[in-house]
Amino acid sequence: MQLKYVVVCSDGTSYALTGKAPTMEWGKPKKPRFDLEDLLAQEWRPVRETGMGGGDHAAFALVLLQKE
């Protein structure tokens, strides 16, 4: 079994946390990614989610995915 975390944003973007490279640098615009859609298409399945808060018209959640 494999596990992977994805940060899902209320603007529709999502970012897999691979540990290989920073998702973004603070103060710099981020290139939009849609990792959750891609992972679901690859048969990863959500196990649980945790709200991470937000503010200024944005909210974030951490989603744990699992693949056999």
Q: How many domains does the chain have?
A: 1
Tally of CB atoms within 10 A around 18: 11
> What average pLDDT does the structure give for the chain?
87
Domain-located, residue 67: no
The whole-model pTM stands at: 0.78
Contact (Cβ atoms closer than 8 angstroms) between residue 22 and residue 33: no
Domain-located, residue 66: no
Instruction: Quote the tokens at residue 16.
Output: 């897999």
Q: What is the pLDDT of residues 29-61, one digit of tens each?
A: 778 889 999 999 999 999 999 988 777 778 899
Burial 30-59 (b: 16+ CB within 10 A, else e): eeebebbeebeeeebeeeeeeeeeeeeeee
Residue 42 Cα to chain centre, angstroms: 15
Domain-located, residue 68: no
Range of the domain at 11: 2-22+30-61
